Chain A
Amino acid sequence: MKYTDYYAALGVARGASADEIRKAYRRLAQKYHPDVSKEPGAEAKFKEVAEAYQTLKDPEKRAAYDALGSRPQGEEFRPPPEWARQHAGAGAGAGASGFSFDDADFADLFSRFGGGRGARGGAIPGEDFEVPVEISIEDAFRGTTLSLSLSLPEYDAAGHVRRVPHTVKARVAPGAVDGQRLRLPGKGGKGVKGGRDGDLYLDITLKPHRLYRATGHDLFLDLPLSPWEAALGATVEIPTLSGPVSLKVPAGTSASKKLRLSGRGLPKPRGGAGDLIAVAQIVVPPELSESELSLFRQLADQSDFNPRRHFVAEGA
């Protein structure tokens, strides 16, 4: 396992008082808490800070942590047998109790102190876990089956913890939107001493798509139009998630005009679907042929259309 410098995580000295540790945690929690922070990497940073605080705020855990000595952050190490006997329970690490450091994370070393899970008392429910999951817009439209590989902590009756790999399969029916939350009852951490198993929560986000931008069940699509299609009107073929459809572009369509295809967005769980909204964009050919130039010049000479008429104040 890799050594974690909890004092460095909180930005305090090894001799910091309990009050200094609490203040450092609060300052960092306000900055990185995943429910309030949008900083990149905030969730991982908060996890480090919270893990450090959980150990250093508890005198028993802090003493056990300090007894490991000071090491470089991330250094591979194994708790000495003496430490294991004194702090992790008789026989720990030696295999006699079935507990092995090989399956544990650094944080797991301190999880059974102070009435840790299963260390004492009766039935304890398993922990809930939240997992971010990214799916494509096509998967949200058609539905998909997720196969999640997780490493979840499991506790024995003595409170020893080990990481156990799990594979969870879950069918996501059509209609998931960005920010959709799903609950998988009983697929979280194992309960201890007859406690119910925890739940797994999936936080779904939609991957960026090369054509569509999703908002709720609606999809937005840029619709490039030539100047003559926008001016004269046209019937164009546009891609939808269920295949191409024809869209009638009315004559006189300006840039940014929204053309709505009802029910062509993402399906809704109780029937119906969002809309596909095509946003018109007028695209001028990057290079004009002589004949095109001539036609545009002819149009410019004959038209009295002024798209900037409103710049001139009334009465000026």
Chain B
Amino acid sequence: MNLEAEVFWLDEYREIGLRELVEMSGLREAELLELVHSGAIPALGQGDAGYRFSARVVTVARAACRLRDDFELDTRGLCVALRLLERVRTLEEEIGRLRAELPR
């Protein structure tokens, strides 16, 4: 079994649709749409084929699914948790950049 696995990069350079995001995240479509409408999961836009997302949000949506299951959160609770986690992520990125600028 030396065959290399197919690799799909989950970053801002790739786009996916709602159906793929549902499949990868484990969230139900209705839950996902509620999170999208609330802004907790950002969509790139809505075309003829429906919502399009940056593949980066797969990580966010999977975290939402874990939080839903592990804390028994409803969608409103998830919205708050995801927004706070996004703020933490942004701040951590900023701290990481500032640390990288500091001499050793």
Q: Could you show 28 A-B contacts with beta carbons less than 8 Å apart?
A: A29-B70, A29-B71, A33-B67, A35-B63, A36-B81, A145-B4, A169-B2, A169-B3, A172-B7, A173-B9, A180-B9, A182-B8, A182-B10, A183-B7, A184-B5, A184-B6, A185-B8, A187-B5, A213-B99, A213-B100, A215-B96, A218-B100, A222-B104, A258-B101, A268-B13, A269-B11, A279-B103, A281-B103
Query: Which residues of B are found within 8 Å of A268, using beta-carbon distances?
Result: 13
> In the complex where A213-B99, A214-B100, A279-B103 touch, is A182 in contact with B9 (Cβ < 8 A)?
yes
Cβ-closest chain B residue relative to A176: B9
Instruction: Report how far A241 CA is from B30 CA in the complex, Å.
Output: 47
Given the known A-B contacts A36-B85, A270-B13, A279-B101, are A170 and B70 also in contact in the complex, defined by CB atoms under 8 Å?
no
Q: For this complex, into which size category does the number of interface residues on chain B fall?
A: 20 to 34
Q: A270 to chain B: closest CB distance in Å?
A: 5
A183 to B24, CA, bound (A): 9
The 4 nearest A-B residue pairs measured at CB? A213-B100, A181-B10, A215-B100, A183-B8
Residues in A whose Cβ lies below 8 Å from that of B3: 169
A247 to B66, CA, bound (A): 48
With A170-B7, A216-B93 given, name 11 new contacts (CB 8 A).
Answer: A35-B63, A35-B85, A170-B4, A170-B5, A180-B9, A180-B10, A199-B24, A201-B10, A214-B100, A220-B101, A279-B103
Collect the chain B residues with CB atoms within 8 Å of residue A184's CB. Answer: 5-8
Q: Is B58 an interface residue (CB 8 A)?
A: yes
B65 vs chain A, min Cβ distance (A): 10
Q: In B60-87, which residues have CB < 8 Å from any A CB?
A: 62-63, 66-67, 70-71, 81, 85
B: residues with CB less than 8 A from A are 1-11, 13, 24, 26, 56, 58-59, 62-63, 66-67, 70-71, 81, 85, 93, 96-97, 99-101, 103-104
Interfacial chain B residues near A281, Cβ < 8 Å:
103
Is A192 an interface residue when CB atoms closer than 8 A count as contact? Answer: no
In the assembled complex, how far is the CB of residue B70 from the closest CB belonging to chain A, in whole angstroms? Answer: 6
Q: Which chain B positions have C-beta within 8 A of A17?
A: none
Measured in the bound complex, the distance between the Cα atoms of B6 and A169 in whole Å is: 9
Looking at chain A, what size class is its interface with the partner chain?
35 or more
A182-B7, A269-B13 known; A215 vs B97 contact (CB < 8 Å) = yes
How many angstroms between the C-alpha atoms of A181 and B103 in the bound complex? 28
CA distance A277 to B100 in the complex (A): 10
Set of chain B residues within 8 Å of A171, measured between Cβ atoms: 4, 7
Nearest Cβ in chain B — how far from A85, in angstroms? 32
Q: State in angstroms the CA–CA spacing of A199 and B20 once bound together.
A: 13
Of B4, B58, B99, which one neighbours A169 at CB under 8 angstroms?
B4
B101 smallest CB distance to A (angstroms) = 6
Q: How far is the CA of A186 from the CA of B10 in the complex (A)?
A: 16
Chain B minimum-CB-distance residue to A166: B1
Chain A stretch 148-187: residues in CB contact (< 8 A) with chain B? 167-173, 178, 180-187
